[in-house]
Structure 1
Amino acid sequence: MKIYPKEYESTSLSYTIRSAVEADAHSLSKLRLQIDGETEFLDREKGEGYIDEQEFKQLIEDDTRSDRNIFLVAEVNEKIVGFSRCEGNTLKRSSHKVEFGVCVLKEYWGYGIGKNFLKESCQWADANGIKKIALYVLETNEKAIDLYKRFGFEVEGVLRNDKFLSDGNYYNTIVMGRVKEGE
């Protein structure tokens, strides 16, 4: 599914959040690889689970056609600096929910890009009959956890010793969900 592009202004940065298009595939492949090497908040180390340009093209095409998926990018001066996805499925028992994931280049943290990805995703979900958004977040990512709580997400569980990081320690993954009540 697609959304209309929206312009955002931060203290010293202007950016656009829009739906991903096929022409973004090459940039997204390189961007994901770079972001995976910048933080341990994500599931992958740099190079793991690599998605090439063709695979991104297929993801974008599938997400654009689906009424249960949305693929967004953030663009600064025609450069993609982050992306988010909500991915649902066609199984009837799970068709009411999607999983949210987000990543932003470290250089662009602190400008509200992640917050606005989440805002756009929640608005899209609410407007399209999605009752639940689920996500997973590393216990050490306190800023993200606080942001999710501000958007109505609640802790639903803890996956104990779920991630093994470069410091040689195991960390928990927090399972969070936002349920739209009523209707």
Structure 2
Amino acid sequence: MKLWGKKVNYTIREMKSHEYKTLEDFLYEAIYIPEGMDFPQRTITKQPELQLYISEFGKKDDNALVAEVDGKIVGAVWTRIMNDYGQIDDETPSFAISLYKEYRGLGIGTDMMKQMLMLLKNKGYKQASLAVQEANYAVKMYQKVGFEIVAKNEEEYIMLCSLK
């Protein structure tokens, strides 16, 4: 089911604590798979370098928003201060975001990013970071909402957004 070109009514709200378990599903959806590559098994989310995005979610510096369509969660954006691929320092939250495929390209992700950036700014954070593979189509969206490339490794950009 593709929704391209259709107007989709959605709401963005804070994720409730009983919904944190859905983050594992959205973590899997967030994995960028280059065209022509096979999808990894869902168990990939159990790897320690991915678990740090969701393990024991709900601590002091954890924030999460969801997008809902007709009462169904179709996307999530979450941040936490962690030693991940996009880590800048111990005061900068790192982003993770994903939408189910049929809801991509409709502006929902952009809206979720903007609302999370506003939430972080209102909480007093000075900046936010993320890591994204160079080939990922989302790079343009991240730039559109204010992220800039500040570093690069073999295949990823490290991006930073000032919240001042």
| TMscore range, shorter length | 0.7 to 0.9
Residue 135 in structure 1 maps to residue 130 in structure 2: yes
The answer as to whether partners of 1:96 and 1:129 remain within 8 angstroms in 2 is no
Identity of aligned residues (%): 24
The answer as to whether partners of 1:159 and 1:174 remain within 8 angstroms in 2 is yes
SS in 1 for 2:153: strand
Residue 152 in structure 1 maps to residue 135 in structure 2: no
Partner of 2:103: 108
AA at the equivalent of 1:107: E
Q: 2:113 aligns with which of 115, 118, 137?
A: 118
Higher relative contact order (CA 8 A, sep 6+): 2
Q: Which runs of 5+ in 1 are unaligned?
A: 1-9, 161-171
SS in 2 for 1:49: helix
Q: TM-score, normalised by structure 2?
A: 0.73
Q: TM-score, normalised by structure 1?
A: 0.67
The answer as to whether partners of 1:25 and 1:57 remain within 8 angstroms in 2 is no
Partner of 1:173: 156
AA at the equivalent of 2:68: E
Shift of 1:58: 4.2
Q: 2:66 aligns with which of 73, 82, 85?
A: 73
Query: Within 2, Cα distance between the matches of 1:147 and 1:132?
Result: 17
Quick one: structure 1 residues 27 and 124, their matched pair in 2 at CA, closer, same or farther if it must change by over 3 Å?
A: closer
Q: Provide runs of 4+ in structure 1 moved above 4 Å.
A: 25-33
Shift of 1:69: 2.1
Partner of 2:45: 49
The answer as to whether partners of 1:97 and 1:130 remain within 8 angstroms in 2 is yes
Partner of 2:76: 83
Equivalent pairs, count: 144
